[in-house]
Amino acid sequence: MKSSPLAILALSLIATPAPADVFLLDAIEHEPPNTPQGLPRPVNGETADQVLARFGEPTRRIPAVGKPPISRWVYDRFIVYFERDRVIISVVRR
């Protein structure tokens, strides 16, 4: 059975991870742990007041958008995402 070049190309595209997938996996594998030895940052469920008490004023506050309202606080080493006044995730800046 002879394979067509188009079939080979289609199979190679399906089997190859997309660059975005590779980047995401790389970021997850190399993100510093949220520990005193890694990069301490806010954890899910903390309030905005708790984040301010632990980490101080962010360099930038990005207002809430959408429903539910999601806002961001930008710090030098990480970004904190809030739903209303609760942390939903914090990510390391690259």
For 28-87, how does the pLDDT look when each residue is reduced to its tens digit (9 = 90+)? 566 788 887 789 999 999 999 999 999 999 999 999 999 999 999 999 999 999 999 999
Residue ranges covered by each domain of the chain = 5-92
Structure tokens at 71: 């806002």
- Out of 1.10.10, 1.25.40, 3.30.1450, 3.90.320, select the CATH number for domain 5-92: 3.30.1450
87 burial (CB, 10 Å; 0-12 / 13-18 / 19+) is buried
The pTM for the full model equals 0.67
Give the model's confidence band at 18: pLDDT under 50 very low, under 70 low, under 90 confident, else very high: low
Q: Which residue has the higher pLDDT, 11 or 80?
A: 80
Q: Residue 34: which residues within 8 A CB-CB, separation 6 or more? A: 40, 41, 43, 90
